[in-house]
Amino acid sequence: MATGNSDLSADQQPASAADALPEKKAPRPKRGVPEGLWKRCPGCQETIYKQEAEKRLNTCPNCDYHFYVSAPERVRQLLDEGTFEEWDTALEPTDPLGFADKKPYAQRLKAEQERTGMRDAAIVGTGMVRARRVAFGVTDSAFIMGSMGSVVGEKLTRTVERATRENLPLIIVSGSGGGARMHEGILSLMQMAKVSAALARYDAAGGLFISVLTDPTMGGVAASFASLGDVIFAEPRALIGFAGPRTIKATIRIELPKGFQTSEFLLEHGFIDRIVSRSDLKSEIARMIDYCGKF
């Protein structure tokens, strides 16, 4: 009753009451990059000239810190200009479980689609890497943490199958902090097996799969296709693992080694084959395709 009254009187306030507005709904800050000419580098804490970082494919000119890159930007960075042909653009996520956490999954999907301009967390297709035709997939950590729901799993599986049929080398760039997408329950978990099975058939057919791990590659993505590359590249200082370090520490109760779950640590322990700076990535992929001499 009292609340009702105060609401009513607030409505009747003159326009000057508008200073209450910012409190009501502050816009969520955009990830990473504020508008303007400068940005702070989390790697070296320096303020760097944004354009300078962009010129270097979004890496820090000072310390080579690798900033977040969206899926469409990855396509531009890695494929020859004008060669990308996107596959399965019409696949749309649904809400089979009627799932809700802080908000209903259906609403979350809509909000993420509007914010990122993507239908789900993956873009797939074909294009050229320095004039070599490849099948290409990329996941984007900005869309529900790049997690693998049914659409991501289906798109990647179809890409692997098409690469098998058309004898194409396969490149998948992972940027997934979320693993399997819990909003789709078992339907997202089964994508891990589905895409892995397709990769096994691709492998049996003699295909070359280059998996590129970027910051972050975690959970069910790390535990399925991302780890199954014939060759596994990782960008410097990327977070790569299954469960997060805090969860592991709380479970096993021992101090984790320094640098645990970074590209550098994983290279030392044999989990990845090479750390490749973003500026070299395209050339290294092309070189690896030639070197392996597979389709």
Of the pair 55, 201, the CB lying nearest Zn ion is at 55
Residue 136 Cβ vs Zn ion, minimum distance, rounded to whole Å: 29
Residue 222 Cβ vs Zn ion, minimum distance, rounded to whole Å: 26
Among candidates 161, 175, 132, which has minimal Cα distance to 290?
Answer: 132
Cα gap 194→88, rounded to integer Å:
17
Lookup result for tokens 């943490």:
145
| Number of amino acids touching Zn ion (CB under 5 A) | 7
Instruction: Give percent helix, percent strand, percent coil of the chain, each to the nearest 5.
Output: 40, 20, 40
Quick one: which of 62, 83, 116, 277 contacts Zn ion (CB under 5 A)?
62
Among candidates 146, 137, 169, which has minimal Cα distance to 221?
Answer: 146
Residue 31 Cβ vs Zn ion, minimum distance, rounded to whole Å: 18
Of the pair 43, 96, the CB lying nearest Zn ion is at 43
Residue 260 Cβ vs Zn ion, minimum distance, rounded to whole Å: 22
Residue 43 Cβ vs Zn ion, minimum distance, rounded to whole Å: 4
Q: Which two structure tokens, joined as six digits, stand for 213?
A: 């791990």
Single-letter residue type at 15: A
Among candidates 186, 200, 179, which has minimal Cα distance to 244?
Answer: 179
Residue 41 Cβ vs Zn ion, minimum distance, rounded to whole Å: 3
52 makes contact with Zn ion (CB under 5 A): no
Quick one: which of 63, 128, 190, 243 contacts Zn ion (CB under 5 A)?
63
Which alpha helices (H) appear in 92-184, and where do they start and end? 105-116, 150-165
Q: Which two structure tokens, joined as six digits, stand for 232?
A: 């596994």
161, burial (CB in 10 Å: exposed 0-12, middle 13-18, buried 19+):
middle
Of the pair 69, 226, the CB lying nearest Zn ion is at 69
Quick one: which of 65, 105, 209, 233 contacts Zn ion (CB under 5 A)?
65
* Footprint of Zn ion on 156-175 (CB under 5 A): none
Residue 63 Cβ vs Zn ion, minimum distance, rounded to whole Å: 3
Among candidates 60, 83, 196, which has minimal Cα distance to 135?
Answer: 83
Considering only 2-10, 65-73, 110-118, 178-186, which stretch makes contact with Zn ion by CB under 5 A?
65-73
Cα gap 143→37, rounded to integer Å:
25
- The 6-45 contact track toward Zn ion, x by CB under 5 A, reads -----------------------------------x-xx-
Report strand pairing: 132-139 vs 170-176: parallel
Of the pair 60, 151, the CB lying nearest Zn ion is at 60
Binding site for Zn ion (CB under 5 A): 41, 43-44, 60, 62-63, 65
